Structure 1
Amino acid sequence: MSYKLATQSTSTEVRDGYTEQQQQQYRKYLQQLKNEFDQRWCKKQNFNIVFSDLERVRTLGTGAFGRVVLLKYSKTQKFYAMKVLEKEKVIKMKQVDHTLYEKRILEAIRFPFTVSMEFSFKDNSYIYFVMPFVPGGEMFSHLRRMGKFEEPLAKFYASQVILALEYLHFINLVYRDLKPENILIDRNGYLKITDFGFCKVLQGRTWTLCGTPEYLAPELILSKGYGFSVDWWSFGVLLYEMNAGYPPFYANDPMKTYEKIVAGKYRCPSSFNADLRDIVRNTLQVDITKRFGVMRNGVMDFKNHRWFKGIEWEAILNCRWTPPYIPKCKHPGDSTNFERYDEEAIKPSSHCRFESEFLDF
């Protein structure tokens, strides 16, 4: 995927912001991506893959419904990350609709900074999502190891998250779970947003309470009904955390965390410069009408902010910007950037379980 402006601006214009003309051209490109998304969304996918073709390597992560494992596909020798969800657990936690929705979304989205589905299938006990393996590991791991990101690296990652959210919102998807644990770093140093379990097509507003406590927007906590604004709030939290090494709103008791969020009470570290403080303040804005990303200028408030001066958005989109940091990856199946987990056997039942609930899978 490559995007090029139909009419090239001067390099000064690109480096010092993003012009209205550039944004209009880019929106035409986003419309093209939306048309492609809509076509895939309406099309039933059929995959020719069987479990015996997949060689399990190790577990990459675990969650409430199952685990993510590293695989090698015997026919191509390619490595994949497979999300294994236990039907029974999905049903117990009333996540059937979310899971079926996530499958459709992963099949339909295509953007440089989001993961997509390669294959999916089910058996008597489990459902499986097979996605490209992103060997650099979670942003969370790198952030914890480094303490905090140097500003050029935080800026590099932030610009990709902005472009990813702009794409998702353009195709009417609200993400609702932005955090370092859901961002993977590829071997080229660029990022991929993963885990679309809380993502949904949005027309108007929605009221569901979901997400991670430290990242929830005030309007979501207050059950006011919300839209894409919640993703921009979460982006503000991520922006703060990348630069500080810890989130802006935190307490041992989740209710205290919620109180701080609703009040918009946080303090910036002394290491934050004036431009960074300004962009954080305008994004962690309790008043939605004043929050960056939601106002009349939309994403342009970010693209033209002083903190992003020097970023060439087209170069970022086409992965031509030199990454400030590239994770160590010795080979395509290198999993050393992921934590170790106890292995558990995947044992499908001898009879089909919950067939009716997953009929549409």
Structure 2
Amino acid sequence: MSTSETTTMTAPNPAAARIPKKTVKDFKFIKEIGSGSYSTVFLAIESGTNRELAIKAVSKELVTRTKKISQVFREKDILALLTDCSYAVKLYCTFQDERTLYFGLTYCPNGDLLQYITDAGHLEEEVVRFYAAEIIEALEQLHNRHIVHRDLKPENILLTDDMHIQLTDFGSGVIMDNNDSPPQSNGTKNVDEEKKPIKRTNSFVGTAQFVAPEILKRGAIHVGSDLWSLGCIIYQMTTGKHLFRGHHEYDIYNAVARVSYKLPDDFPPLITDLVQNLVRLEPSERLGSEETGGMEKLKSHAFFSQFSYDTKWGNLLNQRSPLETKVKLSSRPKLSNDELETMSSGFDDRVEARLIGLRMASDAPNGIDAIVTGSSNISLSNETSSLHETDNQSTLSDQSSTKSMYNSPSSNSSFNNNAPVIARRLQMPDHALSLSEQASKNVYHKFVQNNLIIKQGILDKKKGLFAKRRMFLITEGPAIFYVDPDAMELKGTISWTADLRIEQKDMKTFLIHVPGRTYYLTDPDQDANTWCKSLISIHYRYYNTDPNRKLSTTTSYSSSSSSSAMQTIVPVTEL
């Protein structure tokens, strides 16, 4: 552990000292409601008060190994400073046991903003205006407390019972000042100040589609980073799409660094002007920065002049959310007192087993057994994926119909299905050139045994109650490799045989079933459908079979065909 991390962990924080101390025995853990790269979030009920809380359980082993200790304690310190902020989740208590740190947070029963954008396709202008205004008020409260969020995105905007916002996930945040003086006039911190504990992280933070260029380049900290993210969120609410897009994160980062984006021709004029004034290269030029007139200037933008008569800045929390009347809010059956009485308090192996069982049962369409034998609930909407070349990489795009592809004769396949799987290369022009370009430009090439990468991206790989963030690489062969993106270390492979099955659970989660094991994967960008379509397309091209069929529980793993398929990749034991 570094000296700075030790200082951060032990330095007294007056605000944090006021947080009540509890123990794990004070709570009954009901169900899992979310997960991240080193934490899992549970709905829990406090014994005695029956108060519902979201308990964030952080693995000590994972944060130590991934050097995220300072990030965890930074989030705690920021939450302690936001106890009177009406637009941020509250930190009610903290406690720990031998393996885990626990944070008791506000429970927001209606999920996050992203799910409503995804379900609706895009939000109506009235809804965009309301939530953009609430985000602006939330940022004003944060920035007045010298806090920059730095990872603002729809997934980190939770919705309360009455559909108002609560910001969450402050692990990437930074406290710009530790005293009562206002932020510097230019909104930045100088190099010497950035060396002080807690004020700055030394590694890249944020999410590709929402991260500001100065964060990407590790430049000076500026409140304008959140204004950039606001512009990206407004665009996504309006269109249902990301403002910055690319086949790989590398493409997205390049677009962000160049501020390279294109608005649709029919994009609403007022929103066009708002986005263009928020998404600017220089933080000081973004509407809402101190240099442009501050938040009052942003609030006076013409887009917000169309508020109804009774909707006032500073009074939004007392207004009815336009989403509350347009969506069916989630029903939350309450546990009876008898059920609560019989439920064990604390978090031991029995509770952990119960929670894992509940998660698996809720994921499976027909109970726990269906995880192995059940059919997939994925809907492809008559779309499938075809292979083409973009930016010298083989990527996937949706073009033809699933039915026509699945019914095509095997003789039309680009592959000789009788050849050993390991020898199957993509039959495409300039394959050697594409592979050479990949070797020189893609840092993950060294992990894929000289195979051409068809799709790659970050996924959270669940193991027990905690997830590990991995870069997944789907290659010709076919093969699946996964790499620790922090340590740049190959962690494992998934044996791709004819028996592999794909199962999408929701917009965020999907499963890969292979004989003897199921991989539980979550896409942080909530685009599980694209992953599943890609995997299905590749599987059919190699094996000419539907990977959504049921797995046989009596599959023979010693057959010659299975043995041949198992040679697809060299197994690497998960570390």
Calculate the TM-score normalised by the size of structure 2. Answer: 0.50
Change (3 A) 1:332 1:190: farther
The aligned counterpart of 2:80 is: 107
| Deviations 1:337-360 (CA, angstroms, capped at 9, x unpaired) | xxx94498779xxxxxxxxxxxxx
Q: Does the CA-based 8 Å contact 1:108-1:116 persist in structure 2?
A: no
In the alignment, is the contact (CA less than 8 A) between 1:82 and 1:130 conserved in 2? yes
- How big is the shift at 1:45? 3.1
Q: Alpha-carbon deviations, 1:225-260, whole Å to 9, x = none?
A: 231111111111111111110111011221211111
- Please say if residues 183 and 191 of structure 1, whose CA atoms lie closer than 8 Å, have aligned partners that are also in contact: yes
Aligned-partner Cα distance in 1 for 2:14–2:265: 47
Q: How does 1:334-349 map to 2 (within 5 A)?
A: 341-342=359-360
Specify the alignment match of 1:122 in structure 2: 96
Q: Is the contact made by 1:107 and 1:118 (CA closer than 8 Å) also made in structure 2?
A: no
Contact kept? 2:19, 2:92, Cα under 8 Å: no
Q: Please, which of 151, 156, 168 is the counterpart of residue 177 of structure 1?
A: 151
Structure 1 partner of 2:246: 251
Match of 2:125 in 1: 151
Q: How does 1:232-311 map to 2 (within 5 A)?
A: 232-294=227-289, 295-311=291-307
Query: What secondary structure is seen at the aligned counterpart in 1 of 2:209?
Result: helix
The answer to whether the aligner puts 1:325 opposite 2:323 as a matched pair is: yes
Counting aligned pairs with the same residue, the percent is 26
1:1-361 residue pairs with structure 2 within 5 A?
A: 41-42=14-15, 44-45=17-18, 47-109=20-82, 110-203=84-177, 204-205=189-190, 206=200, 208-294=203-289, 295-311=291-307, 312-316=312-316, 319-326=317-324, 328-331=329-332, 341-342=359-360
Shift of 1:271: 4.3
Paired residues of 2:285 and 2:292 also in contact (CA < 8 A) = no
Question: What does the per-residue CA deviation read over 1:96-128, in whole Å, with 9 as the maximum and x for residues that have no partner?
Answer: 111112112212312221101011101111000
Q: Give the partner amino acid of 1:267.
A: K
> Larger RCO: Structure 1 or Structure 2 (Cα < 8 Å, ≥ 6 residues apart)?
1
1:270-327 residue CA offsets vs partner (Å, 9 max, x unmatched): 44211110000000111333211223301122200000113321221xx122210125
Structure 1 stretch displaced more, 224-233 or 140-149: 224-233
Q: Secondary structure at the match of 2:74?
A: helix
The range that moved more, 231-240 or 204-213, is 204-213
Q: Distance in 1 between matches of 2:333 and 2:21?
A: 23
Give the secondary-structure state (helix, strand or coil) at the position aligned to 2:294. coil
Tell me, yes or no, if the aligned pair for 2:19 and 2:91 is still in contact at 8 Å: no
Q: Is the 2:20–2:94 Cα contact (8 Å) retained in structure 1?
A: yes
What is the CA distance between 1:43 and its match in structure 2?
Answer: 5.5
Query: Does structure 2 conserve the Cα–Cα contact (< 8 Å) formed by 1:61 and 1:341?
Result: no
SS of residue in 1 equivalent to 2:306 = coil
Alpha-carbon offset, residue 46 of structure 1: 5.3
Contact 2:225 2:283 in 1 (8 A): no
CA–CA distance in structure 1, aligned partners of residues 14 and 88 of structure 2: 16
Larger radius of gyration: 2
Aligned partner letter, 1:172: H
| Mapped partners of 2:14, 2:229: distance in 1 | 26
- Structure 1 counterpart of 2:401: none
Amino acid at match of 1:91: T
Q: 1:96 to 1:307 in 2, by over 3 A?
A: same
Distance 2:238 2:359 in 1: 29
Deviations 1:175-232 (Å, cap 9, x if unpaired)? 1110111111111111111111111211415564211111111122223323111111
Q: 2: distance between equivalents of 1:292 and 1:170?
A: 16
Count of matched residue positions in the alignment of Structure 1 and Structure 2: 302
Q: Secondary structure at the match of 1:214?
A: coil
Give the conservation status (yes or no) of the 8 Å contact 2:227–2:287: yes
Whole-angstrom CA distance in 2 between matches of 1:220 and 1:43: 27
Cα RMSD for the two superposed structures:
2.3
Contact 1:250 1:257 in 2 (8 A): yes
Q: Distance in 2 between matches of 1:82 and 1:117?
A: 10
Q: 1:341 to 1:202 in 2, by over 3 A?
A: farther
Give secondary structure in 1 for the equivalent of 2:91. Answer: coil
**What letter corresponds to residue 102 of structure 2 in structure 1?**
Y
* Structure 2 letter corresponding to 1:284: V
Residues in 2 aligned to 1:304 and 1:94: alpha-carbon distance in whole angstroms = 43
- Distance (Å, rounded) in 2 between the aligned partners of 1:332 and 1:80: 16
8 A Cα contact 1:66 1:83, kept in partner: yes
Amino acid at match of 1:88: E
8 Å contact kept, 2:148–2:226: yes
Give the structure with the higher percent strand: 2
Following superposition, the deviation at residue 69 of structure 1 comes to: 0.4
Following superposition, the deviation at residue 333 of structure 1 comes to 5.7
**Where does residue 338 of structure 2 map in the other structure?**
none
- How much does 1:84 deviate? 0.2
TM-score scaled by length of structure 1 = 0.78
Tell me how far apart the structure 2 counterparts of residues 128 and 170 of structure 1 sit (CA, whole Å). 28
Task: Give the Å deviation of 1:269.
Answer: 2.7
C-alpha change, 1:223 and 1:53, in structure 2 (3 Å) is closer
